[in-house]
Structure 1
Amino acid sequence: MSFVVNTRKNVLPHRSLLAMCVCAALPVSSAFAAPQSEDTVLVEASADNAQAEESQDYSVKTTTTGTKLLLVPRDIPQSVSVISQQRMQDQELNTIGEVLDNTTGVSASRIDSHRTNFFARGFFISNFAYEDMPTFLDNRWNFGDTAGDTAIFEKIEVVRGAAGLMSGTGNPSAYVNMVRKHADSKEFKGSVSATYGSWDKQRYVMDLQAPLTESGDVRGRVIAGYQDNDSWLERNHYRKKFVYGVVDADITDSTTLSLGYDYQENEEDSPTWGGFPSLFSDGSRTDFRRGFNTAADWAYSNGDSSKVFANLTQRFGDGWEMKVNAMHAETNFDGKLMYIDGYPDKTTGLYDASQFQGAWGGWNRGERKQDSVDAFVRGGYDLLGRQHEVMFGGSYSRQRNNYDNSYPVNDNYGLMDVGSIYDYNGNLADPRWSEWALYQRDVIRQKAVYAATRLSLADPLHLILGARYTEWSAKYNLERKPDEIRNTKFDDVTPYAGLIYDINDTWSAYTSYTSIFQPSGQRDANSEFLDPTTGKSYEAGIKGDWDNTRLTASLSVFRTEQDKVAVSTGQAIPGSGGQTAYKSVDGTVSKGVEFELNGALTDNWQLTFGASRYIADDENGDAVNPAQPRTTAKLFTRYQLPMLPELAVGGGVRWQNKTWNLIDNGPNGVSRVSQNGYAVVDLFTRYQVTKDFAVQANLNNVFDKEYYDYLDTYGVYGAPRNFSVTANYSF
């Protein structure tokens, strides 16, 4: 008996019919010419040509995300989106944040020029992993996780909903896993690219790989890049540089070892901390220009991150294998920032200093160190005359976080006068700062054991059962009180169950269940961690698969029930310097539906289209996170012209419905601010000048739509129309 990965190899004539149906349903694509016949392509295309076509697909063949079992997407009983390297290249998605912004069911909340939080199904996404090594995120601090450059990743996997089997803890929003590129080539090859774009953007990337031994059993790869640009915000400038190196060695015929390192450094001048005031003192809405920057000239935000990792794979007989992954990561930030708080007078633009309105400063430094190890075994076994698969393992991680703080010192409790907001240009004196003091220190440990099995109950019916036991502990001080130490520990068993029924060679139906366990990073009025969020998550749907997974589709409905959800009290923690206190709320329910079509409609036409609709309310029927859009739709497509195969054209659109927020302490009591629904349209083209040289152009926000990326007591605009042109040479 051998362990065989299930793949879908059906090539159906319905694929062409499906392409025509999509043409009719999507007017934006109606100008695309019909492809040549499917039969002709299959007869004339060689194996090498087919492999080249599939390497340019938006879909991927298999993934381990969700269960750690190697499965095709159709066999995973959850909503999964995998963003391929080709799609990232076509859309010019250069950061993890840009990928998430274009992922089905995910919405962005850009709280200032350098920080973006992401949400799915109404909840904050706190689970980010690097080849399934999770990192615990606290959204109050900016370690720049979503600013990581995608040049070093082969693909990014997003499991929507709860993913307790993979991460142990986490919100029932999404699990984001970054899969790194490796040294796969036994011959020297590489590529270099140069980009120029709006706001004097310059970007350069080099990717080289080569054998390090004559046999090619040891291979190396180096990826390095540099980017420098202004932005649509006045006085705002950004720089980053990154380098990634990996060595992959076939130690024996059955043993592979990978050792790697990556480093990224970011620098931003005059970054905003928050944004412009959303309301005047009379309660009316403001209307500032998109380029208006509330930062002081002396403000900056710098950060760096480094990761050292090792992956060992040992293959045994009958398809069994063991994987051991280890990672040490260090991330630092240093931000000297200023935000303007309050509501200016509509006529004069002045703030009321007697109400402590004006400019406040904060100088924060943070350090995060993480050590993680994960080991598991997977393979196949026979039981009752049928073949099944199993996976079991354990993990340990320790994350140490340290945050220091300094604040302006003057005769008015640190409040600075900015004068009229109409005349403000960042020319504000750098204040005297207090001595550095420890703000927060914590050590978070997670220990876990887990297992899952995929049972073949009948030829068309499979059952996945799994569970994870997690012990989570934290040692921390009360904020601004380094000598007051607290210890907390929680443990939980997270079950996982999924049933998949193959309706026919194309379609499957599934249902799944998992519980939720999320220790909160939020604190109550006593500056102590809230109890973990707990609950249940249900999902059901159908999935389709065509042409050996080159095209996939999914439609799902979901329901998540939660208790002890962290909700803002609107009040500050005493002695914390303004940090918000939270409370636990029971009875939160999120329910909705999602759809995604992704991959090759024809050999010339790639498309991804996703739509999501959900409702999230608490026990009182009040909306949870109403600033996040309840309905979204995202489309991107690429078409290679049959009459001119060197030319590819395409584009996309992102649409969301109306969002709103309630400001409890507005100028007239409770104020409601809203953002109408809007669509952002992008265009793309690439011309293959020679076999090795290509030029690509991207035009984003074609119609220069003006919209808010964040709207509360302050507002943050989304990016106006912008372009980039990239030249790429491969060898």
Structure 2
Amino acid sequence: MSATCRRPARFVVHTPHSHKLFTLSLLAVSLHSLFELPSAHAADSNSSATREAQQDVVVYGASANNSVDQSNQDYQVKTTRAGTKLLLTPRDVPQSLSVITQQRMQDQQLQTINDVLNNTTGITSERDDSERAYYYSRGFKINNFTFDDIPTSMGDSWNYGDTASDTAIYERIEVVRGATGLMTGAGSPAASVNMVRKHADSKTATGSLEASYGSWNKQRYIADLSTPLNQSGSLRGRVIAGYQNQDSWLDRYTKNTKFLYTAIDADLSARTTLSLAFDYQDADTSNPTWGGNPVFYSNGTLTHYRRSLNSAADWTYYHTTVRKLYADLVHHFDNGWSTHLNGTHAENTFSDKLLYVGYLSMPDRDSGEGANGFGSKDRGKRELTSMDGYASGPFALFGRQHQLMLGVNYSRQHNATNSSNGTTSEDGSEITSSDLGIFNNHWNGNIAQPTWGDWYQNADDIIRQKSAYTAARFSLAEPLALIVGARYTQYRSDGSSGDMEKNNLTPYAGVIYDLNDTWSAYASYTSIFQPQTYRDSTGHYLSPITGKSYETGLKSAWDDGRLTATFAIFRIEQNNVGQEQDGVYVNKSSEQAYVATKGARSKGAEFELNGAITDNLQTTFGATRYVATDSAGRFNSNQPQTAFKLFSRYQLPTLPELTVGGGITWQNRVFWDVAAPDGSTQRIYQSSYPLASLFTRYQINKQVAVQANINNLFDRTYYTYRNGDVYGEPRNVSVNLSYQF
């Protein structure tokens, strides 16, 4: 591979009628001959990016003699619609983009979305307890999660239900850092995480079986089976099923998960494909924690409990169920245009019974007496119905070829949660130390259940979003391209948190200049907004929180895009964040009044190298450094402002059956401000720490492979949340056996 390889010319494939107007007539496609119509081109591929690039569509920045024929072992993809929904190479997306492929997830055994995000460049996390995790990018919390580009409004009650889902059903995970209002509508300026699900792509019977066993009796079994459902292969089916059972480094903790994913893809014509899918996931946890262990002893010293201490009572549990229906229809026209209609209906339910001890307790160092807490029973349901339709394709203007995308989106989300408090103290407010017993190394969770109160409503809200969006890529000159776009969103919330309606226009702009065949310079501006239900003293709702992202940098691509690099300098702003006005109330009522502030700023730099260094060596290396501040000083001080993430795999040329690899992550010091026993506020630090991992895989024969992974190789002790003692995962080992057929 040569670093001076020519930059492929931008091209348009098969566009003899590129000036024709397109229509949405594909909705009237007859279904009567569904099972035996000719199949679409290249349906044998296992990649949706491959499927799309091999159709007659516009692809900018890819070579005409290589229609995404890259190795299945790559850590990089040829094309993506991330960021703009225009079909582009990663080099031509004017924002920082990370793609985690199936091969990367297999090598590193990234089995959940949580695992993926913890190993993605520029993403950091905080785990509040055994079940809940929050994710940050460039100092801001991420709440933009999309499934096949369909946005989901995420709240604190739901984040662990989505990010705990198994990655076996996903083809890849795409993370665009910075504001992404063009794609997601309302949200934060941190990043957007898009899960791209697998399709029934194979026209031959194929599949895989996997079984793994590891530390804390973790067992995981996965079956992924694909087959044609008719002779021509124009109708195809896929089933992915999984089961996992595990204990934990936490005492008494067990978790049982199972999932089923089914998909049917049908070629209604040579250019029209209909896909239907169903996803079911169920998780049961016994003895889950709620919050961390106490931070201080009563004498003011830090606790530093053993990592295995579990504050849960033996009657606690957590249960989640996810059901999702997907449908999408794709049609490619002769003129290079394509239309995509996506729809989904999802239902997430949860129920729990929990005990909180947490940082509010300050037990005696020797006796353990003095701990207190409270119990809670909770139940909830989230329903999401969403439709998204867009069209994209080429057009000619002033003698040059350009690309246009336009679409509409509608979503309705209903969130409803209820709770019941558990108390035993005389004032009905807490579970006292006499109930908890001695909270120290002798604690075993054996306490009686509290008295449960009546159910009460936490939330009952309906959120509706209607959006229209568009983006265009203009080829201004041979080395210069401009991407502009906008999204108009009508946001409406009705329910217990207040009735509110906001409209917003979100602009997008980016410019890419090819310095040579390998390197490009780019700059972009994006924004996003988040409605809020706070009101000022006159009773008016505060304007939505707005986020703006400015980014400039360099991108490169070698070996026809198999290896890419990005260096970015960014600045993010968040404005109109509601803050309390002391002693001021809404229209002299009991409702607290708020005032909009200027919010927070984050500025920094990011670097990522990802893909094939050689045919035998795949690597991903990411580095992030930023400084985030608000009016009070450091913003989100619990998140590291410097982080490095490296992972590589190497297939030995002299023994190609053997692959070895590993990685290391490092983050700098963080801190939390915590209330101490004397009423003062003390700053608690988490020092910087590295985490190392290793893996090896041996291909026994064409069908059978065995793989071993070690995480936290040096068994580093660290906290994922210091506002309540929550430890990170100790050293752990897993062995995986897979069979391909």
Query: Fold match, TM over 0.5?
Result: yes
Other-structure match for 1:252: 269
- In structure 1, the partner of 2:557 is 545
Q: Which residue does the alignment assign to 1:649?
A: 660
Of 465, 476, 491 in structure 2, the residue corresponding to residue 446 of structure 1 is 465
| Contact kept? 1:361, 1:414, Cα under 8 Å | no
CA deviations over 1:466-505 (Å, ceiling 9, x no partner): 0000011101215xxxxxxx31011110000000000001
Q: 1:497 aligns with which of 509, 523, 529?
A: 509
**Equivalent position of 2:409 in the other structure:** 395
Q: Distance in 2 between matches of 1:272 and 1:514?
A: 39
Aligned to 1:467: 486
Question: For residue 258 of structure 1, what is the amino acid of its counterpart?
Answer: S
Report the AA paired with residue 267 of structure 1: D
Q: Which residue of 84, 89, 112 corresponds with 1:72?
A: 89
- State the alpha-carbon separation in 1 of the partners of residues 582 and 687 from structure 2: 25
Q: CA 1:398/1:431 → structure 2, altered by over 3 Å: closer, same or farther?
A: same
Structure-2 residue corresponding to 1:726:
736
2:60 is aligned with 1:6: yes
User: 1:34-113 counterparts in 2 under 5 A?
Assistant: 51=69, 54-113=71-130
Cα deviation for residue 523 of structure 1 reads 9.4
Provide structure 1 residue ranges, at least 5 long, that are not aligned to the other structure: 12-46, 352-356, 479-485, 575-579
- The Cα of 1:515 is off from its aligned counterpart by 2.2
Specify the alignment match of 2:548 in structure 1: 536
Q: Determine if contact 2:180/2:527 at 8 Å carries over to the other structure.
A: no
Matched, 1:696 2:722: no
Q: Is 1:420 the equivalent of 2:438?
A: yes
Aligned to 1:114, the other structure's residue is in SS state: coil
Q: CA offset at residue 434 of structure 1?
A: 1.4
3-state SS, counterpart of residue 602 of structure 1: coil
Equivalent position to 2:685, from 647, 656, 674: 674
Q: Shift of residue 253 of structure 1?
A: 1.2
Q: Paired residue for 1:24?
A: none
Task: Say if 1:700 and 1:530 are closer, same or farther in 2 by CA, change over 3 A.
Answer: farther
* Pair 1:365–1:587, CA change in 2 (3 A): closer
Q: Deviations over 1:664-699 (max 9, x none)?
A: 565441111110000000000000000010000000
Deviates more, 1:274-283 or 1:180-189: 274-283
**Hey, what's the Cα distance between the residues in 1 that align with 2:501 and 2:253?**
43
Gap runs ≥5 in structure 2: 1-14, 19-56, 587-591
Q: Letter of the aligned partner of 1:162 in structure 2? A: A
How many Å separate the matches in 1 of 2:695 and 2:594? 44
The equivalent of 1:132 in structure 2 is 149
Task: Give distance in 1, aligned partners of 2:657 and 2:538.
Answer: 64
* Match among 498, 507, 524 for residue 512 of structure 1: 524
Decide which of 325, 332, 347 is 2:349's aligned counterpart.
332
The one of 404, 408, 418 aligned to 1:404: 418
DSSP 3-state at the match of 1:415: coil
**Inter-partner Cα distance in structure 2 for 1:112 and 1:331:** 20
Q: Give the aligned CA root-mean-square deviation in angstroms.
A: 2.5
How far off is 1:90 after superposition?
0.4
Question: Number of paired residues?
Answer: 675
Distance 1:397 1:528, change over 3 A: farther
CA contact (8 A) 2:473 2:483 kept: yes
CA contact under 8 A between 1:461 and 1:500: conserved in structure 2? yes
Instruction: Indicate if the aligned counterparts of 1:519 and 1:532 stay in contact, CA closer than 8 A.
Output: yes
Check whether the contact 2:471–2:483 (CA below 8 A) recurs between aligned residues: yes
Q: CA deviation at 1:519?
A: 2.1
Deviations 1:95-136 (A, max 9, x none): 001000000000010000011111111111101110000100
- What is the one-letter code of the residue matched to 2:110? L
SS at 1:628 equivalent: coil
The one of 435, 438, 449 equivalent to 1:430 is 449
> CA 1:228–1:163 in 2, change beyond 3 Å: closer, same or farther?
same
Q: Deviation of residue 413 (structure 1)? A: 1.1
More moved, 559-568 vs 362-371: 559-568
Write the letter of the residue equivalent to 2:319. Answer: N
Match of 2:575 in 1: 563
CA contact (8 A) 2:61 2:91 kept: no
Instruction: State the distance in 2 between where 1:570 and 1:230 align.
Output: 47
CA–CA distance in 1 between the matches of 2:429 and 2:574? 40
Contact 1:265 1:304 in 2 (8 A): yes
Task: Name the stretch that deviates more: 684-693 or 400-409.
Answer: 400-409
Instruction: Quickly say closer, same or farther: Cα 1:691–1:465, change in 2 above 3 A.
Output: same
AA aligned opposite 2:299: D
User: Distance between the aligned counterparts of 1:522 and 1:276, measured in 2?
Assistant: 32
Cα distance in 1 for residues equivalent to 2:230 and 2:377 = 50
Cα distance change on mapping 1:706 and 1:143 into 2, 3 Å: closer
Contact map agreement 2:500 2:533 (CA 8 A) in 1: no
- Offset, 1:566: 5.3
Taking structure 1 as reference, are residues 56 and 278 closer, same or farther at Cα in structure 2, changes over 3 Å only?
A: same
Task: Describe the SS at the equivalent of 2:636.
Answer: coil
Q: CA shift at 1:255, angstroms?
A: 1.0
Q: Identical aligned pairs, as a percentage? A: 51
AA partner of residue 468 (structure 2): V
Query: Partner residue of 1:589?
Result: 601
1:689 alignment partner AA: I
Matched with 2:388 is: 374
Between the aligned partners of 1:222 and 1:525, the Cα distance in structure 2 is 56
SS in 2 for 1:281: coil
Structure 1 counterpart SS, 2:725: strand
1:145 aligns with 2:156: no
The superposition leaves residues 136-185 of structure 1 with CA deviations (integer Å, 9 ceiling, x where unpaired) of: 01124555111010000000000000000000111111100000111111
Equivalent position SS for 1:145? helix
User: Post-superposition shift, 1:346?
Assistant: 2.4
Please tell me the residue identity of whatever aligns with 1:392.
Answer: L
Alpha-carbon offset, residue 331 of structure 1? 0.1
Q: CA deviation at 1:565?
A: 2.6
The verdict on how the C-alpha distance between 1:500 and 1:300 changes in structure 2, with shifts beyond 3 A counting, is: same
